């Protein structure tokens, strides 16, 4: 198979971790006989500096012409410390999702035996946890009308959802639940928010279409508590944009590190595969960042974008082997650099195929 990948490293540690994922992709393609072509493009702060836009048209064109997007991170202290800035790196990520029609973010959360002690939660709570967060990605407050009133002293953000947006994300979530343990948890705040009541109404309408799936409903505050007191309860969790953003970051405490959580953003056009951690500018250029989440995002790319389960499995097995061997960066208790971990994983992928 010929694979075309748009490579968007972005800001901060993005270039370093994406480079390690590229090593893994190259190793898989060599082992399984695929050819791969990368096209580099800028997004985030680096794109603002050159183009004045966090997601320039040239970058969008490259994404549209590719089979998948391998993405690093966006964000820069220059913009974080300037609340008056009209153009921000994060706008590039939102624009990319919107223009590519990526309405669903998929974040699998699982534990590694060798790292259950690394979680701030008790080992008996997290050992064996394995669930998928499905977050609606192009609606809600992040994209609703927003602004300032009263000479800037009053601010508002509109949380708006349409029936078709809710139906399509629920349909996707039910599809994944059917492939897993057939349990779907719909997370909302229907006791307070009208938009959540619409979510729950539509979910109740759709649930009978999937009689094999057990559907339950949970308020977001209860779900947040359940993630840290009983994460093994969840199989597939689906929720709206803002709640999903918060809950999926909270879920990183289950695996023990944000540096282990991969994600896929999918929808109408080219899917984007990225780690959930940010740009971590303090570590940029130091070769200390954990690349495993980005490498695992590449595994998701093979599985979701290309339907190549064995290739994704090869990456996952190599990542697990590196963790079992203690060949990790300092956040996981290891002493290895970013590039050393990337080299080890790619070598393991190649050697395991012999």
Q: Which of the residues 67, 80, 249, 343 is marked catalytic?
A: 249
Ramachandran region of residue 97, left (φ > 0), alpha (ψ -120 to 50) or beta? alpha
Task: Using alpha carbons, select from 15, 337, 303, 279 the residue that is nearest to residue 132.
Answer: 303
From the list 11, 23, 76, 142, the catalytic residue is 142
- Beta bridge partners, 36, equal 3
Tell me, letter by letter, the H, E, C secondary structure of the chain. CEEEEEEEEECCCHHHHHHHHHHHHHHHHHHHCCEEEEEECCCCHHHHHHHCCCCCHHHHHHHHCCCEEEEEECCCHHHHCCCCCCCCHHHHHHHHHHHCCCCEEEEEEECCHHHHHHCCCCHHHHCCCEEEEEEECCCHHHCCCEEEEHHHCEEEECCCCCHHHHHHHHHHHHHHHHHCCCEEEEEECCCCCHHHHHHHHHHHHHHHHCCCCEEEEEEHHHHHHHHHHCHHHCCEEEECHHHHHHHHHHCHHHHCCHHHCEEEEECCCCCEEEECCCCCHHHCCCCCCCCHHHHHHHHHHHHHHCCCHHHHHHHHHHHHHHHHCCCCCHHHCCCCCHHHHHHHHHHHHHHHCC
In the annotation, is 249 catalytic? yes
Gap between the Cα atoms of 61 and 184, Å rounded: 36
Catalytic residue among 82, 221, 286, 324: 221
Q: Are 8 and 53 in contact (CB under 8 A)?
A: no
Q: Is 245 known to be catalytic?
A: yes
Catalytic one among 11, 76, 235, 245?
245
- Is 142 labeled as catalytic in the residue annotation? yes
Q: Which of 161, 189, 226, 273 is catalytic?
A: 189
> 227 with 175: CB under 8 angstroms?
no
Q: Which residues are catalytic?
A: 142, 189, 221, 245, 249
């Amino acid at each position: 198979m010929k694979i075309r990948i748009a490579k968007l490293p972005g800001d901060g540690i993005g270039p370093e971790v994406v480079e390690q994922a590229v090593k893994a992709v190259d190793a898989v393609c060599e082992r399984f006989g695929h050819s791969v072509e990368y096209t580099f493009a800028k997004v985030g702060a680096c794109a603002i500096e050159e183009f004045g836009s966090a997601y320039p048209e040239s970058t969008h064109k490259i994404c549209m012409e590719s089979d998948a997007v391998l993405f690093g991170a966006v964000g820069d202290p220059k913009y974080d410390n300037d609340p008056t800035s009209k153009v921000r790196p994060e706008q590039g990520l939102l624009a990319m999702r919107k223009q590519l029609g990526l309405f669903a973010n998929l974040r699998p959360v699982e534990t590694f035996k060798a790292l259950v002690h690394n979680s701030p939660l008790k080992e008996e709570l997290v050992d064996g946890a394995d669930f998928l967060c499905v977050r609606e990605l192009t609606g809600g407050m992040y994209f609703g009308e927003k602004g300032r009133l009263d000479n800037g002293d009053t601010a508002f953000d509109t949380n708006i959802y349409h029936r078709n947006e809710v139906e399509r994300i629920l349909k996707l979530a039910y599809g994944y639940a059917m492939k897993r343990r057939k349990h779907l948890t719909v997370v909302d705040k229907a006791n307070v928010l009208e938009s959540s009541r619409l979510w729950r109404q539509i979910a109740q309408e759709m649930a009978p279409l999937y009689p094999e799936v057990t559907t339950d409903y949970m308020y977001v505050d209860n779900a947040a508590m359940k993630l840290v007191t009983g994460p093994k309860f969840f199989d597939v969790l689906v929720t709206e944009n803002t709640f999903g953003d918060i809950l999926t970051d909270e879920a990183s405490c289950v695996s023990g590190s944000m540096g282990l959580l991969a994600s896929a953003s999918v929808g109408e056009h080219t899917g984007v595969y990225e780690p959930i951690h940010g740009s971590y500018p303090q570590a940029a250029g130091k070769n200390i960042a954990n690349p495993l989440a980005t490498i695992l995002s590449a595994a998701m790319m093979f599985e979701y974008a290309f339907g190549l389960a064995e290739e994704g499995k090869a990456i996952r097995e190599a990542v697990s082997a590196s963790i079992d061997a203690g060949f990790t960066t300092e956040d996981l208790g290891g002493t290895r650099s970013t590039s050393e971990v990337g080299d080890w994983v790619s070598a393991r992928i190649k050697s395991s195929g012999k």
